[in-house]
Chains A and B, each alone.
Chain A
């Protein structure tokens, strides 16, 4: 990947609760993630993985508790850390072309020299030849690439991926795994939620399991990757 213009950043979740009308999607989640870690979150549907990631993206406010980013250089205290976020939805406009979408978000984010940045990213994700096509015409795999390009526009130190491999064919999964590997190796902090073992889960440096909103296993405190991802100890 392009040499990173960011400083490594970690995250700390302190006693996070998220209530949806009386149901606790997350209960008392406390977690410290060091800069540069690549964390895989596993858990059944409804276990709170998506909610946790959306809280990290600051799209959702926790009902209780706090999220903070650690290790940001002292000069940038006032600048909020903006994680890159990739979800199941593409989060780009169907009626605009790939290039138009990326330019739009690049300009909103205040990226320096947006046209150059967009050009470079389109190359990175292999969509240069389809830059002028409307996203509506893209396959699922191609949309995922646009989504990743969008997430990387501002060279985020933190990357959040919510079940990024959903709907991808084996070729798409392979491409994604390679992209995540390079991002991880460049020193970014990555949080991803996944279902089960795969090429992608093996990129993780740490695995955490969520059950009904609480952390029930963590490779840092003795769980194994395999058991966490396959619910072998459930």
Chain B
């Protein structure tokens, strides 16, 4: 079976498992909500300050949430050693990563989309006029976070203290995404909104670089 068909079969499994229990999605959404509310206590959310701080806080919240959300990614495959079953069944081990990073991107996007209106209301930022651009940034950034996060969760699943380790590995690595996404979001929510193509291009490059790295080295991450 080809790489893509393997990956899509696995993606179906990942999505089906999650939508059945919805544990991951609900806990992640609630977590981000809590973080956003807590952040609002640290400054005046209705003032002009909020237009400057809000995008950064939003992306920080997404990053923290994703570093928690990505924990079970490979941990749950350790439960009944299903990872070995997958390795025995797929033609290319990269299919496993492709499926998982696609699933994680979907989950991240879903949480971001659900939280966007709440965020807009709480911080009084105009998202409607630039909605499609925001979606583009969300997509590219979530993809980048998923690619790196999926790879790193394969590493942390094999170490001790994995709950603390995954955020520790992910957050420094993802600082470029934090910076670029915040900047692009900031300029989109500005008084006179504009699209920072530099930032969007940058995110796309990040995604391609790390996807390539994962493709080159992924099978070693799965070795026993």
Interface set of A (CB-CB < 8 Å, partner B): 54, 57-61, 82, 85, 87, 89-96, 100, 104-105, 107-110, 150
Contact = CB atoms under 8 A, between A and B. Distances in A.
Contacts of A104: 9-10, 13
A92 B91 contact: no
Nearest to A95: B17
Contacts, number: 61
Contacts of B21: 95
Interface of B: 1, 5-6, 9-10, 13, 16-17, 20-21, 79-82, 84-91, 223-224
Max chain A C-beta neighbours (<10 A), residue from B81, B88, B91: B88
Sorted nearest first, the 6 A-B pairs with minimum C-beta distance are A89-B81, A110-B1, A91-B85, A108-B89, A107-B9, A90-B80
Given A108-B10, A108-B89, A109-B1, A92 B224 contact: no
12 contacts: A59-B87, A59-B224, A60-B224, A87-B81, A89-B84, A92-B80, A95-B17, A96-B17, A104-B13, A105-B85, A107-B9, A109-B1
A76 B158 CA distance: 36
B98 to A, nearest CB: 13
A190 B82 CA distance: 22
Contacts of A100: 16
- The A contact surface, by secondary structure, is loop
A234 to B, nearest CB: 30
Contact of A110 (B16, B17, B85, B91): B91
Contacts of B90: 108
Given A91-B81, A91-B84, A108-B1, 11 more contacts: A54-B224, A57-B84, A91-B80, A93-B13, A93-B82, A94-B80, A96-B13, A96-B16, A110-B1, A110-B91, A150-B85
A91 B86 CA distance: 9
Contacts of A150: 85
Max chain B C-beta neighbours (<10 A), residue from A85, A96, A108: A108
A114 to B, nearest CB: 10
A123 to B, nearest CB: 22
Nearest to B2: A110
Nearest to B12: A104
Contacts of A90: 80-81
Contacts of B85: 91-92, 105, 150
Contacts of A87: 81, 84
Contacts of A108: 1, 6, 9-10, 86, 89-90
A104 B86 CA distance: 10
B80 A59 contact: no
Contacts of A91: 80-82, 84-85
Contacts of A105: 85, 89
Nearest to A153: B89
Nearest to B91: A110
B199 to A, nearest CB: 38
Given A107-B1, A109-B1, A85 B88 contact: yes
A193 B201 CA distance: 55
Nearest to B6: A108
A14 B13 CA distance: 38
Contacts of B5: 107
